[in-house]
Amino acid sequence: MKSFSEQIRGLDLSPQSIATLQINITKQCNQACHHCHVDSTPLRTEKMSDQVIDKVLEILNSEKRIGILDITGGAPELHPRFKEVVEKATSTGKKVMVRHNLTITFDGIPGKNEPMLWLPQFFADHKVEVVSSLPYYQEFFTDKQRGTGVFKKSIEALKKLNAVGYGAPEKSLTLNLVYNPVGPFLPSSQVELEASYRKSLGEKFGIRFNNLFAITNMPIKRFKQDLEKRGQLEQYMDKLCTAFNPVAAAGIMCRNMVSVDYQGNLYDCDFNQMLDFKVKETNNSIFNFNYGQFIQRSIVFANHCYGCTAGSGSSCGGATA
């Protein structure tokens, strides 16, 4: 297999902007999905410190060129300051996106049996863009990847989001769903998948949503371990390499974002963060962040980047080509 560095030789994949500041505020989650690149579980305890959160909010308030705050985890709602971060970020005029796993609405904090039924209205009040994973529109495949009962809880959570206005064409409340394959496969056409999701979820459950994002399973962490266990890693990597698409590569998310971990370290993307591939330059902490310097950096690439550049491409916003 050709290395990714060899594959992109001659292509200009330099940074274009920092439109999005993505923060991973906790690795704790109420689920332990088979494909999770964060290795999140209910037992993880890592949470973003007050000092890092305060610095993030300071940067959002002062740096006008950053327009989006993307909050992820784990289940980001489990961080004690989650509501405050959303409230203060939206008060600066930033668009706020939350990577919301749907079932947290009913599960709440692991071990405490305290549902977060307030979440849909809170999201609506602050016009949060909700991005929620639903691996498939059929119960069997979703539960196979995310655990028994996840599909039914997800459907009920989607109904609650619809009830406060999410997904309605006359409202400005955006609800995007995320598809990723159940296994070592490339996603099908995002357009065709979205049509199938819309038809099935609409007819069976009356659910509305705005867009579907098709995301490739990244060959790192828990998914990589599963591939190694099944003896499928080399085959999957070859599949990704063969499907490399330079057009998709031109749209990779790391060209327009910065990712921040719970300790304040900076990365080119969330996947690099999970591999501890910090940005190359000394400007690698939120505490010495400088937009002008950061935009001049060289992005750190490795073979897992084939996951974002194969086929139609893959990013936090779905296909890139």
For residue 33, the model assigns a pLDDT of 79
* Cβ pair 87, 126 in contact under 8 A: yes
Tens digit of pLDDT for each residue in 84-107? 999 999 999 999 999 999 999 999
CATH number, domain with residue 71: 3.20.20.70
Query: Which pLDDT band holds residue 149 (cuts at 50, 70, 90)?
Result: confident
Of 4-18, 219-233, 279-293, the one with minimum mean pLDDT is 279-293
Q: How many residues does the chain have?
A: 321
| CA separation, residue 16 to residues 96, 111, 264, 304 (Å) | 21, 43, 22, 21
Structural domain of 160: 4-309
If you average pLDDT over every residue of the chain, what do you get? 94
For residue 261, the model assigns a pLDDT of 97
Mean per-residue pLDDT, 218-229: 92
Regarding beta strands 257-260 and 211-214, do their DSSP bridges make them parallel or antiparallel, or are they unpaired?
unpaired
Is 109 a member of any domain? yes
Distance CA 298, CA 301 (A): 9
Is 319 a member of any domain? no
Neighbours of 249 (CB within 10 A): 24
Is 318 a member of any domain? no
| Amino acid identity for residue 86 in this structure | V
Per mean pLDDT, which of 58-62, 178-182, 183-187 is the most reliable? 58-62
* Cβ pair 214, 197 in contact under 8 A: no
Tens digit of pLDDT for each residue in 123-138? 999 999 999 999 889 8
- Report the interhelical angle of 150-163 vs 139-146 (nearest 10°): 110
Is 237 a member of any domain? yes
- pTM for the full predicted model: 0.95
Pick 283 or 205 by higher pLDDT: 205
Is 152 a member of any domain? yes
What is the percentage of the chain residues whose pLDDT exceeds 70?
Answer: 100
Is 315 a member of any domain? no
Query: Which pLDDT band holds residue 54 (cuts at 50, 70, 90)?
Result: very high
Mean per-residue pLDDT, 169-183: 89
Count of domains in the chain?
Answer: 1
Is 317 a member of any domain? no
